[in-house]
């Protein structure tokens, strides 16, 4: 069942076997997997079904440098289903090397391996509606599928890795009915977890304290408590729960909140492929079960070890959008409409280039002089993205020149000074 926390009386103590804090993809997946096993499950969600401004403002915070990291209320939504309400749907598994201790990556190494995680990936793919757990092009698309670059083979560079794309699935919408009819799950909306209260010796959670924006305060007592609030919020909650553990729960060694990492991403360089454009498969391909997939480029793990490299992937990308010399009407149209595009993609269109009247005129000329491609793009976007249930993942343009930039996503080295800390301002709960 799904309930509003404002309907619960002040001071109530709810009993449960498992209390899950956070109804994003992790929390919802866990609740569904536990359902039907004789457990009483409480799933707490700060937000509502739809985005709620007052609740979203609880994500406010400060960043040291906005050029390096967006404000914490961007890219995330505090609502039922979490940030799956706005994600792009890209899915891909970790690589084995990501878990290893590597001498050239200080602080690397996990107490688990890829083999420990692998059994859970097929179910995760299913919940994300990303099809089979198959991330090799030949396995996913068929043994006869052409390579990314015709005639290219390398012992250093791998080009047959795939990304698979969800619808993208909004977990709140997709699984609301299953949670609503489950007799062993209580989903509480508007339930802001304001503290984890420990027993005196500090080894067990005695109760979870809940406060609503409407002023209600109640508690959940459970045999097991699971934090599924994401990297930022889980650290913040542990640090703020400091009545028994003065430094915060689990923070005896001043590690909670440290080694914070996010995406290092951007477009770099210029890659020119010789030969016909048909020799390069730079767009999206559709798997037999109807899933959009895209090739990615990476350095093989043995070469990373040999050269002391961090892990990274690259995708073929179109030229720099802000530069009108690309003479592409679609790219110029995106530049001119940048103020109406979502924060994430709009940010990519603000690369420091100073907008001028002359720059706008040159982009406008690109749109006017390229009407057929622009019209074809708009038609495709409306039919395959705006109106489609399984959406075309992103802008892909016709390959005319075999000249690309590389869209890179790189591994960030773990650094102790990269951290989440509590600010001086506290929310009025």
pLDDT at position 220 over 90: yes
Q: What is the mean pLDDT of the chain?
A: 92
Q: How is residue 298 written in tokens?
A: 């990476």
- Taking residues 18-32, what's their average pLDDT? 98
Evaluate whether 161 touches 136 at the Cβ level (below 8 Å).
yes
The domains of the chain, with CATH numbers, are 2-89+169-240 (3.50.50.60)
pLDDT band at 346 (very low <50, low <70, confident <90, very high): low
pLDDT tens figures, 147-167: 999 999 999 999 999 999 999
Minimal CA–CA distance to 179: which of 309, 33, 68, 389? 33
Question: pTM of the full predicted structure?
Answer: 0.92
pLDDT band at 70 (very low <50, low <70, confident <90, very high): confident
pLDDT tens figures, 388-429: 999 999 988 877 788 888 999 999 999 999 999 998 776 655
- Taking residues 132-136, what's their average pLDDT? 97
Rg (CA), the chain: 24
Structure confidence at residue 101 (pLDDT): 97
pLDDT tens figures, 259-292: 999 878 888 888 889 999 999 998 999 999 999 9
- Taking residues 102-110, what's their average pLDDT? 95
Structure confidence at residue 314 (pLDDT): 95
Structure confidence at residue 84 (pLDDT): 97
Structure confidence at residue 266 (pLDDT): 84
Length in residues, the chain: 429
Structure confidence at residue 162 (pLDDT): 96
Q: How many Cβ atoms are within 10 Å of 318's Cβ, its own excluded?
A: 21
Residue showing tokens 């699935």 = 169
**How much of the chain, in percent, has pLDDT values that exceed 70?**
96
381 compared with 172, residue with greater pLDDT: 172
Beta strand 403-410 with 264-272: parallel, antiparallel or unpaired?
Answer: antiparallel
pLDDT at position 203 over 70: yes
Evaluate whether 165 touches 392 at the Cβ level (below 8 Å).
no
Handedness of CA 135, 141, 143, 148 (dihedral sign): negative
Structure confidence at residue 88 (pLDDT): 93
Minimal CA–CA distance to 213: which of 198, 191, 229, 184? 191
Minimal CA–CA distance to 265: which of 71, 78, 51, 409? 409
Beta strand 41-45 with 90-91: parallel, antiparallel or unpaired?
Answer: unpaired
């Amino acid at each position: 069942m799904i309930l509003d926390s404002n309907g619960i009386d002040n001071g109530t103590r709810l009993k449960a076997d498992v209390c899950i804090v956070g109804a994003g993809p992790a929390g919802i997946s866990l609740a569904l997997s536990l359902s039907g096993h004789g457990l009483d499950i409480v799933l707490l969600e700060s937000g509502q079904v739809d985005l709620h401004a007052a609740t979203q403002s609880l994500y406010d915070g400060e960043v040291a440098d906005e050029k390096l990291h967006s404000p914490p209320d961007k890219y995330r939504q505090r609502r039922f289903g979490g940030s799956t309400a706005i994600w792009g749907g890209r899915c891909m598994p970790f690589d084995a090397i990501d878990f290893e201790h590597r001498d050239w990556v200080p602080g690397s190494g996990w107490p688990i391996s890829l083999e420990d995680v692998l059994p859970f990936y097929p179910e995760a793919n299913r919940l994300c509606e990303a099809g089979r757990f198959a991330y090799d092009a030949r396995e996913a698309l068929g043994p006869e599928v052409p390579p990314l670059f015709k005639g290219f083979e390398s012992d250093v560079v791998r080009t047959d890795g795939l990304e698979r794309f969800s619808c993208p699935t909004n977990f709140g919408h997709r699984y609301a009915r299953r949670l609503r009819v489950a007799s062993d799950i209580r989903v509480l909306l508007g339930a802001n977890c304001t503290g984890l209260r420990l027993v005196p010796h500090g080894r067990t959670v005695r109760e979870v304290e809940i406060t609503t924006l409407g002023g209600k305060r109640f508690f959940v007592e459970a045999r097991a408590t699971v934090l599924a609030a994401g990297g930022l919020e889980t650290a913040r909650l542990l640090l703020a729960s400091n009545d028994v553990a003065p430094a915060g729960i689990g923070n005896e060694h001043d590690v909670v909140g440290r080694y914070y990492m996010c995406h290092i991403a951007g477009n770099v360089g210029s890659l020119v492929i010789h030969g016909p454009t048909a020799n390069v498969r730079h767009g999206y391909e559709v798997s037999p079960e109807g899933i959009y997939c895209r090739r990615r480029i990476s350095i093989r793990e043995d070469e990373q070890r040999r050269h002391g490299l961090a892990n990274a992937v690259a995708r073929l990308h179109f030229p720099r959008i802000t530069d009108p010399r690309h003479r592409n009407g679609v790219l110029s149209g995106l530049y001119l409409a940048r103020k109406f595009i979502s924060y994430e993609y709009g940010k990519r269109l603000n690369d420091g280039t100073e907008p001028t009247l002359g720059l706008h005129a040159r982009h406008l000329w690109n749109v006017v002089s390229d009407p057929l491609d622009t019209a074809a793009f708009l038609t495709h976007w409306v039919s395959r993205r705006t109106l489609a249930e399984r959406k075309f993942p992103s802008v892909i343009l016709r390959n005319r020149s075999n000249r690309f930039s590389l869209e890179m996503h790189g591994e960030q080295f773990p650094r102790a000074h990269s951290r989440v800390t509590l600010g001086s301002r506290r929310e009025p709960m």
